[in-house]
Amino acid sequence: MSSAPSSDASSSAPLPFVKLFTDGACRGNPGPGGWGCILRHPASGSEKEISGGVTLTTNNQMELQAVISGLEALKSPSEVEVVTDSKYVAQGCEEWMAGWKRNGWRRKEGGAWKPVKNVEYWQKLDELLVKHRVRFTHVRGHMGHPENERCDVLAVAAALAVS
């Protein structure tokens, strides 16, 4: 799914294409966590790895932060394929976010309205999604996907660094 593009992302000029590989990790849930991502620009062959850690967080927050940090690192509107092993992130962006926004960042749980979990992460991600044309590709984690495995190494190392 593509996010609703902003005027920058919907111009007639072709956008640069970037592949963003992401992963998050947490030692305990909640506990010390880390995220890692790889930005790859296939046209130029350039690649950048970034990562970070948080002393007290959850795995879902780190999965979200990996995508946020990768999108924040882009200097101009781009066409982005986010490759993630997080169904939570992919489904949240593709299926759930529009409804959450329509409902004031709330969701139905047991017949009652509840605040969306990790709302500050989702709202930041929402701001970034409108700057780019983004689609999500879900891969199974820990199944030998080279970039996903590398992002996991980056995320685990970042989590260990803040432990």
Contact present, 132 and 79 (Cβ < 8 Å) = yes
**Residue tagged active-site, from 36, 53, 63, 126:** 63
**Residue tagged active-site, from 72, 99, 120, 142:** 142
Contact present, 9 and 131 (Cβ < 8 Å) = yes
**Residue tagged active-site, from 34, 85, 132, 147:** 85
Q: Is 8 annotated as catalytic? A: no
CA distance 71 to 137: 15
Q: Is 142 annotated as catalytic? A: yes
Angle, nearest 10°, between helix axes 146-162 and 59-72? 110
**Residue tagged active-site, from 24, 33, 34, 52:** 24
Q: Is 23 annotated as catalytic? A: yes
Alpha helices of the chain — where are they, by DSSP H?
Answer: 59-72, 87-91, 97-102, 119-129, 146-162
Q: Is 34 annotated as catalytic? A: no
**Residue tagged active-site, from 23, 33, 92, 147:** 23
Q: Is 24 annotated as catalytic? A: yes
CA distance 89 to 69: 14
Q: Is 145 annotated as catalytic? A: no
Residue numbers annotated as active site = 23-24, 63, 85, 142, 152
